Amino acid sequence: MSESNDGNPSRRYRLMIPGPVDLTPEVLVSLSAPVQADYGSNWPDIYLDTTRLLKTIFGTSGDVFILVGSGSSGIDACIGSALKTGEKIIIGINGFFGERMKEIAESYGLEVIPIIKEWGEVLDPRDFEFALKNHQDAVMVALPHIETSTTVVNPIAEIGKIVRKYKAVFMVDAVSSLGGMPFYMDSWGIDICSSASQKCLGGPPGLSPVAIGSKGWDLIQRSFTKDHGWYLNLATWKKYSDKWMVWHPFPITMATSLVVALRTSIEQILKDGIDNRFALYRARAMRLRFGLLKIGLQLFVPDDFAAPVVTAVYGYPDTATSLMIKYIEDKYYIKIAGGLGLLKEKIMRIGHMSPMISESDIDDVVSALERYKSEHNIH
Ligand SMILES: *Cc1c(COP(=O)(O)O)cnc(C)c1O
């Protein structure tokens, strides 16, 4: 029952939630550097270099912007910038974040054609083909890659192959997958995509990288008045990046310290080798799932479509998962997450999307759960 703070005395809890994640010591050091001005001399170079690195992580030759806001701001921008009130959007919904996309779309007065699966099931590409055939006027198809609320990985490449045959653009929420598992925006046929700094990209919360390909821009830059604001309109971000490129390639005060920290993390990912990171998370997942099964717990989704960066597991029978989560937090100083929405009190979600999570962290979670069982006379 060790309290590990990795040399940082103010660090009390180990974060094993699906974001935000614990930062590496190098990222923490970069966060403590003096605040930089967001224009002039060297800043545009730092910003543009960060977007260049992000392009390799997204797997795109399109444009990347770093929005100042959480992951949801990027999703809001991708949907709201591209469509106008009354237009049709097909949304894949198999959990909390698919539901959120629908909420965002409805906030812009869009007509949502939902493709629904039970929470914990995977979306079926054939349903998208069917919806696109029936709604030839759909302007966008959108869904989350990893549905973090259930840990299901949706088949983006297969759905992308289908969407490509229609005029609709393909938008993907890669908030919890980018940097944690293979992702190929261009070759998967994704036109607009957004992520967040605080999950597999290993930075602090507060930034949302957004990537846009040429089919995405064609839609965003159609000449009509959209019922959309200014800040989260990607056309605003493009205008300023073109016009103010050499000194200030964004419309607002960039969160310079957060960008510096994010860049440090991405440099580390690329230096370690991104494939090595993917393998590391996968190995942590396997170790955790093996341990959970061994102590008699049941996994929430089959391994064939379970995310490599977060694991969902049912609690013990007749036990509210919040009690188990609180126990681990109080006795082991480890934070894991519960279920969202429909899955509240039913499952626990254990994140392993940071290189800071070691084999012994995984083992500690398993032994904490085992000890909970023996202390509460669960058989
Ligand atoms: C975390 C997450 C979000 C929300 O991101 P915020 O940074 O909290 O706004 C959206 N989609 C998915 C798939 C996520 O995992």
Mean pLDDT for the chain?
Answer: 95
In contact, 336 and 322? CB cutoff 8 Å: no
- Closest C-alpha residue for ligand 1 atom 2: 175
**How far apart, in whole angstroms, are the C-alpha atoms of residue 79 and residue 192?**
9
Q: Is 310 in the pocket of ligand 1 (CB under 6 A)?
A: no
Around Cβ 320, how many Cβ atoms within 10 Å?
Answer: 14
Whether the predicted pLDDT of 225 surpasses 90 = no
Ligand 1 midpoint to CA 128 (Å) = 23
> When comparing pLDDT for 330 and 222, which is higher?
330
Give how far the C-alpha of residue 72 lies from the chain's centroid of Cα atoms, to the nearest Å.
Answer: 9
Q: Is 280 in the pocket of ligand 1 (CB under 6 A)?
A: no
Q: State residue 245's pLDDT score.
A: 82
Q: Span 186-204, mean pLDDT? A: 98
- Label residue 321 by pLDDT band (50, 70, 90): very high
The DSSP output letter for 321 is: H
Whether the predicted pLDDT of 23 surpasses 80 = yes
Q: Is 351 in the pocket of ligand 1 (CB under 6 A)?
A: no
Question: Which residues have CB under 8 Å from 26's CB, separation 6+?
Answer: 264, 265, 268
Q: Is 265 in the pocket of ligand 1 (CB under 6 A)?
A: no
In contact, 305 and 330? CB cutoff 8 Å: no
Whether the predicted pLDDT of 2 surpasses 50 = no
Taking CA atoms, 41 is separated from 67, 245, 260, 301, in Å, by 21, 12, 15, 51
Sequence-ordered strand ranges (E) for 33-165: 63-68, 88-93, 111-116, 138-144, 146-147, 152-153
Whether the predicted pLDDT of 8 surpasses 60 = no
Around Cβ 240, how many Cβ atoms within 10 Å?
Answer: 16
Ligand 1 midpoint to CA 42 (Å) = 31
pTM of the model: 0.96
